[in-house]
Amino acid sequence: MVQYVETAIVAASEHVAPTLWLIHLEAPQIASNVGPGQFVMVRCADPEYPTFDPYLPRAFFVFAADRAAGRLSVLVERRGRGTVWLCDRQSGDHVRVFGPAGRGVRLARLTRHLLLLADGPIAVAGLALLASESARRGASVTLVENIAAGGGVPPHLLHPDIEYRGTSPEAGGLLGELPGLLPWADEVVIAAPESLLETVSSLRRARHEPFTLYGNVPIQALPLACTSATSTTSTLAETGSSDRRGGGDYLPCGTGTCGACVVATRSGEHLFCREGPAFPLEALRFEHVADEEDVDAADGDRVD
């Protein structure tokens, strides 16, 4: 649930990749209360000149936060009117920000080897704060990005102790990295479209490779409907598929009132912006899952 509304000051804006900007905002209340995986809503219009275009705020994961300095950073992929406006902000400009939204990502247990799988830059943005905070408390963190056509997130933007690996669909994508990394990991977090989450889930349920021996590793999933404007993973618009739930290519309210972000789980429907963004992989309910699976939905699958 959104807790604060602030008129943030743009501390700096960095053009870090062809389509990516890192915007640093002075927003002390939100910065000092944000946790890994939470996001902010940004009104992409000058706060001093109210306008109806664009009318609705845009959502951005908090990529980094310096609580002591009262600063947070968002990694913005330049796509349409809202993000173009935001990427064009200069130091000293004002931006209206609401947040933090969502419950964030909480690791299931004290994790020493954390594997993060991200499908594109928005997914990396959703995992970056989790990665840096875990690395700071001494965990070994490996983050794998499936690099979209527009290019990957520059690794130097991440905490220096994070091992960053890039992959691509041609190289086997995130699934191709799993066999080598799963034996090492004691917790996995995947930010990806539903189709990929469904594949991982069914491989694990069937105890197929790479889950023959490692099926019990806890996996949390961030269902992202659209991971990048230049994603190599198909989006709803392109395919008409069911990859449309959780966080992604729609305009969320971020406050739990519009219902646009419903995530179907085996214990009922939940809101990405309130209970998310992360859900235990085994709790997610996919369209193609056999009905019998609902019958034996265990207590352990429940999303609190």
Q: Is 102 in the site for ligand FES (CB under 6 A)?
A: no
Among 14, 140, 250, 293, interactor with ligand FAD by CB under 6 A: 250
Q: Which two tokens stand for residue 131?
A: 């990665």
Strand segments (E) across 27-182? 39-43, 58-61, 64-66, 71-77, 94-101, 113-119, 140-146, 162-167
User: Contact 301/282 with Cβ under 8 angstroms?
Assistant: yes
Question: What's the min distance (Å) between Cβ of 251 and ligand FES?
Answer: 8
Q: Is 144 in the site for ligand FAD (CB under 6 A)?
A: no
Q: Is 75 in the site for ligand FAD (CB under 6 A)?
A: yes
Among 59, 97, 153, 157, interactor with ligand FAD by CB under 6 A: 59
* Contact flags string 228-257 toward ligand FES, x per CB under 6 A: ------------------------xxx-xx
* Contact flags string 137-176 toward ligand FES, x per CB under 6 A: ----------------------------------------
Q: Is 268 in the site for ligand FAD (CB under 6 A)?
A: no
User: Contact 29/95 with Cβ under 8 angstroms?
Assistant: no
Question: What's the min distance (Å) between Cβ of 86 and ligand FAD?
Answer: 8
* Contact flags string 9-48 toward ligand FAD, x per CB under 6 A: ------------------------------x---------
Q: Whole-angstrom Cα distance, residue 2 to residue 210?
A: 39
User: Contact 61/122 with Cβ under 8 angstroms?
Assistant: yes
Contacts with ligand FAD: how many residues (CB under 6 A)? 23
What does 39 interact with, of ligand FAD, ligand FES, none (CB < 5 to 8 A by kind)? ligand FAD
Phi then psi for residue 110, to 5 deg, are: -65, 105
Q: Is 98 in the site for ligand FAD (CB under 6 A)?
A: no
Alpha helices by DSSP H, listed for 94-137, are 121-136
Q: Whole-angstrom Cα distance, residue 31 to residue 139?
A: 23
Q: Which of 97, 92, 91, 95 is nearest to 33 (CA)?
A: 97
Q: Which two tokens stand for residue 283?
A: 């709790």
Q: Whole-angstrom Cα distance, residue 177 to residue 88?
A: 36
Whether omega for the bond prior to residue 154 falls within 30 degrees of 0, making it cis, is no
CA 304 to chain centre: 20
Question: What's the min distance (Å) between Cβ of 109 and ligand FAD?
Answer: 25
Q: Is 248 in the site for ligand FAD (CB under 6 A)?
A: yes
Among 261, 263, 281, 284, interactor with ligand FES by CB under 6 A: 261
Q: Which is nearer to ligand FAD, 80 or 240 (CB)?
A: 80
Q: Which of 199, 77, 287, 21 is nearest to 190 (CA)?
A: 199
Q: Is 81 in the site for ligand FAD (CB under 6 A)?
A: yes
Among 47, 80, 259, 268, interactor with ligand FES by CB under 6 A: 259
Residues near ligand FES (CB under 6 A): 252-254, 256-261, 271-273
Residues near ligand FAD (CB under 6 A): 39, 54, 58-61, 74-77, 79-83, 122, 125, 247-252
